[in-house]
Chain A
Amino acid sequence: AQSVTQPDIHITVSEGASLELRCNYSYGATPYLFWYVQSPGQGLQLLLKYFSGDTLVQGIKGFEAEFKRSQSSFNLRKPSVHWSDAAEYFCAVGAPGGGADGLTFGKGTHLIIQP
Chain B
Amino acid sequence: DAGITQSPRYKITETGRQVTLMCHQTWSHSYMFWYRQDLGHGLRLIYYSAAADITDKGEVPDGYVVSRSKTENFPLTLESATRSQTSVYFCASMVLAGREQYFGPGTRLTVL
B99 engages A100 (CB within 8 Å) = yes
A107 engages B103 (CB within 8 Å) = no
A105 engages B43 (CB within 8 Å) = yes
B42 engages A90 (CB within 8 Å) = yes
Beyond A102-B48, A102-B58, whether A94 also contacts B43 by CB under 8 A is: no
A40-59 interface (Cβ within 8 A of B): 42-46, 49, 51
Q: Which of B40, B41, B42, B45 contacts A102 (CB 8 A)?
A: B45
Residues in chain B near residue A46, CB distance under 8 A: 100-102
Q: Tell me which of A45, A49, A100, A107 has the highest count of chain B C-beta atoms within 10 A of its own C-beta.
A: A100
B42 engages A101 (CB within 8 Å) = no
Is the CB of B33 closer than 8 A to any CB of chain A? Answer: yes
Beyond A49-B100, A100-B31, A102-B58, whether A90 also contacts B105 by CB under 8 A is: no
Interface of A is mostly: strand
Q: Tell me which of B90, B99, B105 has the highest count of chain A C-beta atoms within 10 A of its own C-beta.
A: B99
B48 engages A101 (CB within 8 Å) = yes
How many whole Å from B68's CB to the nearest CB in chain A? 15
How many whole Å from A54's CB to the nearest CB in chain B? 17
Is the CB of B56 closer than 8 A to any CB of chain A? Answer: yes
Give the distance in Å from the alpha carbon of A92 to the alpha carbon of B92 in the complex: 14
Residues in chain B near residue A105, CB distance under 8 A: 35, 42-44
A101 engages B104 (CB within 8 Å) = no
Q: Which residue of B lies closest to A45 (CB)?
A: B103
A90 engages B43 (CB within 8 Å) = yes
Residues in chain B near residue A45, CB distance under 8 A: 103
Give the distance in Å from the alpha carbon of A101 to the alpha carbon of B49 in the complex: 8
Q: B56-93 toward A: CB 8 Å interface, digit per residue (1/0)?
A: 10110000000000000000000000000000001010
A to B CB contacts below 8 Å, 18 in the list: A32-B99, A36-B103, A42-B105, A42-B106, A43-B103, A44-B90, A44-B92, A45-B103, A49-B99, A90-B42, A92-B43, A100-B99, A102-B33, A102-B48, A103-B101, A105-B44, A106-B42, A107-B40
Interface of A toward B, CB cutoff 8 Å: 32, 34, 36, 42-46, 49, 51, 90, 92, 94, 99-108
